């Protein structure tokens, strides 16, 4: 789930930590804005950056610490901006880079931070990197997860390397006539997966983080991080037993395409990069790194420690319904607190239901 309304950095729990030791992200509320539907400033029916700027006084009056923006990068919009064609620019639907710089400055003047969405698993197939990778232009040849066909059917059609499925349904493999290979897309076919076994991609994303930190952002919410690595041996994934269509994502157990051990390690490199930037900036600001992880709680907890400031705690959304009571709330809280590692900081994701 990508579009949530409110993330509480601290609700209910402070423990024995003294107030003067707490940072802004530990005591503040982070408020999500989905820019497309938030506030339209120019009458085109699409929310934009200037619309957000016009509402900053209201947002500040809520007492929040920072605003988290869903993707506003340049994009063909095959997946509402999660297919990014330029990680260093703003899509014209939302405004310009200068508009964004103004947003950061105006927010800061009201003691508000701006947090960006980071989409680390993939880019758009219209990104310059993919266009060049498809042509095998160095150094981009191995920026994405390419594989040869397993074979060809009697009609000459290429056969995908294995049975892996896309979250959006159907095969997770798309054939490139130009390159004569398949590329992996765990989401939309226009969202080719990066190859994180190539250190050049790791460095590219570090450079992107630095670009936005230099513009004053307070950190990033990282989308769908558990999909970042795949088993290079390409084994078929086992059937889950769920009574769904064989093309449905839930038809398989995703043991070779989700939550691989390399993922937390690679994220820890970005955490170290972020912490180093914060230290060297000399402004006392901690840039936050928060992760979207929907896995079982024992798997979620591995994304604490040196991997991020926190993985999202969705228990208020996933374990409580319309008729939940105080006991249910206590169980949701204890389920997180009892599993959190030493020095891990709790967070509580909640949904705003009114205006």
User: 2-11 pLDDT, tens per residue?
Assistant: 444 344 333 3
SS3 349: strand
Active site residues: 223, 292
219 within a domain of the structure (yes/no) = yes
Tell me which residue of 33, 42, 59, 54 sits closest to 93, measured CA to CA. Answer: 42
- Average the pLDDT over 252-274 and give the result: 97
172 within a domain of the structure (yes/no) = no
SS3 73: strand
311 within a domain of the structure (yes/no) = yes
Structure tokens at 304: 């604490």
Quote the CA–CA distance of 340 and 300 in Å, as a whole number: 9
Is the pLDDT reported for residue 168 higher than 80?
yes
Q: Is 222 exposed, middle or buried (0-12, 13-18, 19+ CB in 10 A)?
A: buried
- Going from the C-alpha of 252 to that of each of 164, 178, 286, the distances in angstroms are 8, 30, 40
- For residue 308, how many other CB atoms are within 10 A of its CB? 25
108 within a domain of the structure (yes/no) = yes
Q: At what angle do helices 262-281 and 199-214 cross, to 10 degrees?
A: 30
- Domains in the chain: how many in total? 1
277 within a domain of the structure (yes/no) = yes
- Going from the C-alpha of 206 to that of each of 202, 203, 239, the distances in angstroms are 6, 5, 37
194 within a domain of the structure (yes/no) = no
243 within a domain of the structure (yes/no) = no
Q: Is 140 exposed, middle or buried (0-12, 13-18, 19+ CB in 10 A)?
A: buried
pLDDT of residue 21: 80
Q: Which domain holds residue 63?
A: 6-121+199-226+261-350
The CATH number given to whatever domain includes residue 293 is 3.20.20.80
SS3 103: helix
pLDDT of residue 6: 40
Please provide the average confidence, as pLDDT, over all residues in the chain: 92
Q: What is the CA radius of gyration of the chain?
A: 21
pLDDT of residue 20: 54
Whether pTM exceeds 0.85: yes
CA angle 330, 31, 11 (to 5 degrees): 25
pLDDT of residue 326: 86
Q: Which residue has the tokens 């228990």?
A: 315
pLDDT tens by residue, 31-62: 999 999 999 999 999 999 999 999 999 999 99
Quote the CA–CA distance of 144 and 198 in Å, as a whole number: 9
253 within a domain of the structure (yes/no) = no
Tell me which residue of 310, 317, 311, 312 sits closest to 350, measured CA to CA. Answer: 317
């Amino acid at each position: 789930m990508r579009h949530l309304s409110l993330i509480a950095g601290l609700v209910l729990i402070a423990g024995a930590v003294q107030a003067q030791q707490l940072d802004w992200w530990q005591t503040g509320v982070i408020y999500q804005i989905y820019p497309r539907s938030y506030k339209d400033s120019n009458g085109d029916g699409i929310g934009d950056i200037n619309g957000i700027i016009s509402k900053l006084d209201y947002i500040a009056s809520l007492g929040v610490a920072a605003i988290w923006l869903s993707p506003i990068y340049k994009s063909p919009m095959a997946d509402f901006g999660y297919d990014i064609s330029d990680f260093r620019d703003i899509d014209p639907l939302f405004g310009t880079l200068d508009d964004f710089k103004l947003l950061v400055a105006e927010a800061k003047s009201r003691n508000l931070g701006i947090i960006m969405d980071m989409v680390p698993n993939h880019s758009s197939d219209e990104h310059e990197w993919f266009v060049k990778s498809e042509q095998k232009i160095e150094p981009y040849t191995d920026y994405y997860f390419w594989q040869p066909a397993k074979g060809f059917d009697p009609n000459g059609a290429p056969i995908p390397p294995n049975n892996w499925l896309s979250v959006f349904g159907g095969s997770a493999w798309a054939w490139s006539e130009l390159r004569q290979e398949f590329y992996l897309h765990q989401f939309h076919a226009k969202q080719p997966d990066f190859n994180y076994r190539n250190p050049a991609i790791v460095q590219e994303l570090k450079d992107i983080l630095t670009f936005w930190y230099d513009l004053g952002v307070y950190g990033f919410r990282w989308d769908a991080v558990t999909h970042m690595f795949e088993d290079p041996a390409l084994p078929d994934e086992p059937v889950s037993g769920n009574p769904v269509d064989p093309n449905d994502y839930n038809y398989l157990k995703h043991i070779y395409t989700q939550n691989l051990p390399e993922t937390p390690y690679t994220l820890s490199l970005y955490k170290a990069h972020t912490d180093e930037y914060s230290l060297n900036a000399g402004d006392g600001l901690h840039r936050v790194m928060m992760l979207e992880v929907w896995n079982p709680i024992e798997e979620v907890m591995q994304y604490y420690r040196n991997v991020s400031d926190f993985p999202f705690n969705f228990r208020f959304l996933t374990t409580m319904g319309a008729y939940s009571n105080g006991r249910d709330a206590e169980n949701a809280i204890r389920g997180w607190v009892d599993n959190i590692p030493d020095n891990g900081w709790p967070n509580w994701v909640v949904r705003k239901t009114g205006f």
